[in-house]
Amino acid sequence: MPKKTTKYDKLLRLARKGPIRARDLEESGIPRVYLRRLSDRGLLLRSDRGIYRLADGDVTEHTALADVAVRAPQATICLISALEVHGFTTQIAHAVWIMIDRHARAPKISYPPIEVVRASGRARTHGVETRKIEGVTVRITTPAKTVADCFRYERHVGLDVALEALRDYFSMHRGGVERLVEAARADRVHTKMRPYMEALI
């Protein structure tokens, strides 16, 4: 006779797919009290209010991105956090950088720390792709849009970071000039970027 699947089993199976929210349990018919019980047993860790992950799960350099995407699914990973994913920088993000709509309310996330920039229109919607990171669908700016954003938000990241990102982009995407120009125009920084681009092409 097959062993009956318990609510503990269901919850652990969910947690193996990536971070889970307390409200995700309702769809699986699992009472929220099971989160506390498994946490008390040391099988789950609470990474933020309402967010849990396996205690013995692998923690990677992108774990924080998945945690933020669970809490703020409409936000887009950008700037230094996106540069790290694309392999464009030697910088280390000490917070997760996200872009939200100009009129949206900033998400309340105590951990990991976040940095928020705002945009609207094409500057927010152009050049966004989705990736699966630790089982979570994450919105992230494309390589070209990430570079353009560094120039748009230069006062946040610094010109040195923007120039490093541009050099890395050309070394890895020699045929991507057109995509970079499109992204720069969407961000309204093409005039600003053009001299630096022409110097590297």
Q: What is the pLDDT of residues 142-159, one digit of tens each?
A: 999 999 999 999 999 999
Are residues 150 and 114 in contact, defined by beta-carbon separation less than 8 angstroms?
no
Q: Does pLDDT of 59 surpass 70? A: no
User: In this predicted model, what pLDDT tens digit does every residue of 115-151 receive, in sequence order?
Assistant: 999 999 999 999 999 998 887 899 999 999 999 999 9
Q: How far is 1 from 83, CA to CA, in rounded Å?
A: 52
**For residue 1, is it within any domain?**
no
Alpha carbon distances (Å) from 201 to 6, 33, 127: 60, 59, 22
Number of domains making up the chain: 2
Residues 14, 89 share a domain: no
The closest of 159, 169, 167, 94 to 127, measured between CA atoms, is 169
Residues 111, 173 share a domain: yes
> Could you tell me the CATH number of the domain that includes residue 11?
1.10.10
Residues 45, 72 share a domain: no
- Its domain, for residue 130, covers 63-200
Are residues 147 and 165 in contact, defined by beta-carbon separation less than 8 angstroms?
yes
Q: Does pLDDT of 181 surpass 80? A: yes
